């Protein structure tokens, strides 16, 4: 038996192996070498399939490539379309806003990484300010309605985050009080701050546009809000932005909210001025020695505005007159009511009553005796 060197292609390297009499049943016929014993120019030529010749590119055809790309895009799109969790109806809550599609779950473009989209179904916008939006939402798990406030811009630096967190930290420090908007939870998401709070139907500003307040109604509201301020001040906090817009109503109960400017009464935290229409003169003059009494002035100014049924001035001679204690008479309101308003807005902070002292005013004793 004669052994003839037999070439074999392995990983691009031509290797000669001895050939035996046994036939090659493994290598396809079209890929086998043919050997010319006459040593012609065609000796040791590989019958290469057409598909592997240089004349045929290994790159897929353009139409095949596009089809493959479209298929990949379709698969990626399906992966990104994450189904939001379903909303569960709470049998203890009577609500007609429960969305049918939310019970079944809906496709979320935000993906599963969004806690807001994953835990809440957004119903509508109910308010906005200079720094945030507020939405009425349904919590998917417990089936209850809440308000979620989130910043209207990204909080990228430490200073912005600390400023935004002031409301969260103030509310968590206060704990529960029926006349303070209740705080539930907060979190950062994509550099936006989200705050989950109690949902209220309206605020004093909107209520004043729809109804004319009687003395009895204003007395009831003032009594509740004095209790709220007493609670704040006993915890060493001042609100510094008391006004009709920040006083909310839920089932007839008045609640103070929007603690974005809240600070410590001892002045250990930087102080920012609120709405100028409700600011006492000492804050305008950068006197921060009686921050709790600044809240008392703002509360008095709020009820003075509601009783006189016209907006307070933001500047001018009338603005200065109010801060000098020169208040106009309030037709239809008792002298006891007007006297309390005047004491709350006294030009000298130290002469204003505290919240605890104001609650002992004869106006509230008179109101409670009438209720009996």
pTM here is: 0.71
Task: Please tell me the predicted confidence (pLDDT) of residue 210.
Answer: 84
Q: Is 184 in the same domain as 127?
A: yes
Tell me, yes or no, whether 42 lies in a domain.
Answer: no
Q: Is 183 in the same domain as 230?
A: no
Q: Is 226 in the same domain as 181?
A: no
pLDDT tens across the length of the chain (372 residues): 555 454 555 544 455 555 555 555 555 555 554 555 454 555 544 454 554 444 444 555 555 555 555 555 555 554 455 456 666 665 556 666 655 544 444 444 444 579 999 999 999 999 988 889 999 999 999 999 999 999 999 999 988 998 899 999 999 999 999 999 999 999 999 999 999 999 999 999 999 988 889 999 999 999 999 999 999 999 999 999 999 999 999 999 999 999 999 999 998 888 998 999 999 999 999 999 999 999 999 999 999 999 999 999 999 999 999 999 999 999 999 999 999 999 999 999 999 999 999 999 999 986 665 553
Q: Which of 136, 163, 197 is the endpoint of a domain?
A: 197
Task: Please tell me the predicted confidence (pLDDT) of residue 332.
Answer: 94
Q: Is 252 in the same domain as 327?
A: yes
Q: Is 193 in the same domain as 306?
A: no
Q: Is 237 in the same domain as 267?
A: yes
Q: Is 146 in the same domain as 292?
A: no
Q: Which of 197, 212, 235 is the endpoint of a domain?
A: 197
Q: Which of 166, 197, 228 is the endpoint of a domain?
A: 197
SS (H, E, C) the chain: CCCEEEEEEECCEEEEEEECCCCCCCCCHHHCEECCCCCCCCCCEECCCHHHCCCCCCCCCHHHHHHHHHHHHHHHHHHHCEECCCCCCCCCCCCCCCCHHHHHCCEECCCCCCHHHHHEEEEEEEEECCCEEEEEEEECCCCCEEEEEEECCCCCCHHHHHHHHHHHHHHHHHCCCCCECCEEEEEEECCEEEEEECCCCEEHHHHHHHCCCCHHHHHHHHHHHHHHHHHHHHCCEECCCCCHHHEEEECCEEEECCCCCCEECCCCCCCCCCCHHHCCHHHHCCCCCCHHHHHHHHHHHHHHHHHHCCCCCCCCHHHHHHHCCCCCCCCCCCHHHHHHHHHHCCCCHHHCCCHHHHCCCHHHHHHHHHHC
Q: Annotated binding site for ATP: which residue ranges?
A: 149
Tell me, yes or no, whether 355 lies in a domain.
Answer: yes
- Respond yes or no: is residue 241 known to be catalytic: yes
Tell me, yes or no, whether 290 lies in a domain.
Answer: yes
Q: Annotated binding site: which residue ranges?
A: 149
Task: Please tell me the predicted confidence (pLDDT) of residue 84.
Answer: 60
Domain count within the chain: 2
Task: Please tell me the predicted confidence (pLDDT) of residue 368.
Answer: 61
Q: Which domain holds residue 225?
A: 202-371
Give me the catalytic one of 41, 241, 245, 258.
Answer: 241
Q: Is 292 in the same domain as 215?
A: yes
87: domain CATH number?
3.30.200.20
């Amino acid at each position: 038996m004669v052994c003839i060197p037999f070439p074999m292609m392995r990983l691009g390297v031509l290797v000669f192996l001895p050939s035996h009499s046994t036939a090659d049943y493994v290598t396809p016929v079209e890929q086998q070498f043919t050997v010319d014993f006459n040593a012609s120019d065609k000796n040791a030529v590989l019958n290469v399939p057409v598909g592997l010749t240089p004349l045929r590119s290994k790159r897929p055809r353009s139409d095949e490539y596009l089809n493959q790309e479209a298929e990949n895009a379709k698969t990626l799109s399906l992966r990104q379309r994450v189904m939001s969790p379903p909303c569960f109806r709470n049998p203890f809550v009577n609500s007609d806003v429960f969305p049918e599609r939310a019970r079944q779950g809906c496709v979320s473009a935000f993906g599963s990484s969004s806690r807001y989209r994953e835990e809440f179904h957004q119903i509508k916008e109910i308010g906005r300010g200079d720094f945030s939006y507020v939405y009425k939402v349904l919590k998917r798990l417990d089936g209850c309605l809440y308000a979620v406030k989130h910043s209207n811009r990204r909080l990228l630096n430490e200073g912005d985050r600390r400023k935004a967190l002031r409301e969260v930290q103030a509310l968590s420090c206060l704990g529960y009080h029926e006349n303070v908007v209740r705080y539930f939870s907060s979190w950062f998401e994509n550099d936006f701050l989200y705050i989950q709070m109690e949902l209220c139907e309206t605020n004093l500003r909107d209520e004043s546009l729809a109804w004319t307040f009687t003395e009895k109604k204003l007395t009831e509201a003032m009594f509740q809000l004095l209790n709220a301020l007493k609670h704040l001040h006993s915890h060493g906090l001042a609100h510094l932005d008391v006004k009709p817009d920040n006083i909310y109503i839920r089932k007839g109960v008045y609640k103070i909210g929007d603690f974005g400017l809240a600070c410590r009464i001892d002045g250990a935290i930087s102080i920012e001025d609120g709405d100028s229409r409700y600011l006492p003169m000492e804050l305008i003059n950068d006197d921060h020695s009686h921050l709790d009494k600044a809240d008392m002035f703002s509360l008095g100014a709020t009820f003075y505005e509601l009783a006189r049924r016209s907006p307070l001035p933001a500047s001018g001679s009338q603005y200065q007159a109010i801060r000098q204690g020169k208040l106009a008479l309030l037709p239809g309101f008792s002298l006891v009511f007007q006297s309390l308003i005047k004491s709350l807005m006294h030009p000298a902070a130290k002469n204003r009553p505290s919240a605890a002292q104001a609650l002992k005013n004869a106006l509230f004793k008179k109101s409670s005796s009438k209720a009996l």
